[in-house]
Amino acid sequence: MSLARCFIGLGSNLATPKTQLVAALNAIEKLVDTHIVRCSSFYSSQPMGPQDQPKYVNAVAEISTRLKPLALLDELQKIELQQGRQRKEERWGPRTLDLDILLIDSLVLDTPRLTVPHYGLKQREFVLYPLYEIAPDLVLPCGNSLLSVLDRVSKNGLSAIASDINWERNTQPN
């Protein structure tokens, strides 16, 4: 399979969220046939669901990978589980780690396990602003520029909390 350009949303609001995101980036970098190209700053955001939970720390990473979409999803879910993610019926509740496939090139996919582009991509400030930071010229598969979508979404208290990400890249090809 050829290299695909993917964007992954990262989020955490439990168990030292910044540490969770750095650990997730390190784990993603170690995936077979996968390399992190760049990562946004970390952002503090309001919880999307119940408001009686801690604020989230979010980021977006651009990766290149040869993994097929469902294989990538499987690997990301393994990372979530390794970092203590517990899948509960309550949507948008607190979590140690959430990894979402946002985009894979210009692919449009709708299966029971995976929807690409991510179904909430165009409404979520904690995805759009970090995505814009690392890919300001991005055009979504629907043909809209990222900037035109971003112009319609409020920051809702979103703020950058880190300008440098301290995660170690693999120096060996995987």
Residue 119 sits in a domain of what CATH number? 3.30.70.560
Q: Which listed residue (85, 110, 124, 151) is catalytic?
A: 85
User: How open is the CA angle 108-111-112, to the nearest 5 degrees?
Assistant: 150
Going by C-alpha positions, the residue among 85, 98, 96 that lies closest to residue 10 is 98
Which of 100, 113, 137, 169 is labelled catalytic? 100
Give the model's pLDDT for residue 71. 97
Q: Which of 52, 98, 105, 164 is catalytic?
A: 98
Instruction: Please indicate whether residue 5 is annotated as part of the active site.
Output: no
Q: What is the pLDDT of residue 84?
A: 80
- Is 124 an active-site residue? no
Mean pLDDT value across the chain? 89
Report residue 165's pLDDT band, with 50, 70 and 90 as the boundaries. Answer: low
Band the pLDDT of 67: cuts 50, 70, 90.
very high
Query: Using one digit for the tens of pLDDT, what is the confidence trace for 10-54?
Result: 999 998 999 999 999 999 999 999 999 999 999 999 998 777 889
Is 162 within 8 Å of 38 (Cβ atoms)?
no
Structural domain of 131: 4-162
Separation of first and last alpha carbons in the chain = 15
Whole-number pLDDT of residue 91: 66
- Is the residue at 158 inside a domain? yes
| Burial grade of 112 (CB within 10 A; 0-12, 13-18, 19 or more) | exposed
Structural domain includes residue 124:
yes
Looking at residue 167, its pLDDT comes to: 53
Does any domain span residue 168?
Answer: no
98 catalytic per annotation: yes
In the numeric block, the tokens 């690997």 are attached to 75
Torsion angle defined by CA atoms of residues 17, 22, 27 and 29, in that order, rounded to the nearest 10 degrees: 150
The tens digit of pLDDT for each residue in 118-142 reads: 999 999 999 999 999 999 999 999 9
* Catalytic position from the list 33, 74, 95, 110: 95
Residue % of the chain over a pLDDT of 70: 88
Check the CA dihedral 86-62-160-171 and report its sign. Answer: positive
Segment 99-119 shows an average pLDDT of 97
What's the total number of domains in the chain? Answer: 1
Instruction: Give domain status of residue 11, yes or no.
Output: yes
SS3 37: strand
129's torsion region: left (phi>0), alpha (psi -120 to 50) or beta?
alpha
Active-site residue, 113 included: no
